[in-house]
């Protein structure tokens, strides 16, 4: 079963604009991670935020985490055509094995 749900399912913006994707999850987590997947290819780890962190930056990426609302957001600033991909959030729960549970993803299209 899916732990996270991304919103929106699809997003299309112009190059240079900012893109914001949201993720909601159901249970308490150890950490939350964001991944990018280009069409039909492997997933690439973008950023990890721990449950005791509220915000994290990496280059043009900004991730926030609100554990009280069980939600996270990924902001990509100054988008580029190369950012076109699917973006997934994935959670790791505190109990048991450290497996990733993925949401359904957001399909982001950057129009030149």
Burial of residue 68 (CB within 10 Å: 0-12, 13-18, 19+) is exposed
Q: Give yes or no for residue 25 binding another protein (CB under 8 A).
A: no
Q: How far is the CB of 22 from another protein (least distance, A)?
A: 17
Nearer to another protein by Cβ, of 50 and 54: the residue is 50
4: how many CB neighbours lie within 10 A of its CB? 24
Q: Which stretch binds another protein (CB under 8 A): 46-54, 56-64, 67-75, 76-84?
A: 46-54
Q: Give yes or no for residue 91 binding another protein (CB under 8 A).
A: no
Contact 95, 29 (CB under 8 A): no
Paired tokens of 52? 């005791």
Q: In which order are the strands placed within the sheet that holds 55-58?
A: 4-7, 19-25, 71-76, 61-66, 55-58
Q: Give yes or no for residue 99 binding another protein (CB under 8 A).
A: yes
Number of residues that bind another protein (CB under 8 A): 25
- The residue ranges that bind another protein (CB under 8 A) are 2, 30-31, 33, 35, 40-45, 47-48, 50, 88, 96-105
């Amino acid at each position: 079963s899916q732990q996270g749900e991304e919103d929106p399912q699809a997003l299309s913006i112009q190059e240079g604009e900012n893109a914001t994707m949201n993720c909601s999850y159901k249970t308490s987590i150890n950490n939350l991670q964001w991944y990018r997947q280009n069409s039909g290819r492997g997933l690439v780890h973008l950023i990890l935020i721990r449950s005791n962190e509220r915000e994290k930056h990496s280059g043009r990426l900004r991730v926030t985490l609100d554990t009280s609302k069980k939600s996270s957001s990924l902001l990509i600033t100054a988008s580029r055509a190369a950012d076109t991909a699917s973006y997934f959030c994935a959670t790791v729960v505190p109990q048991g094995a450290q497996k990733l549970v993925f949401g359904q993803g957001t399909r982001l299209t950057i129009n030149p």
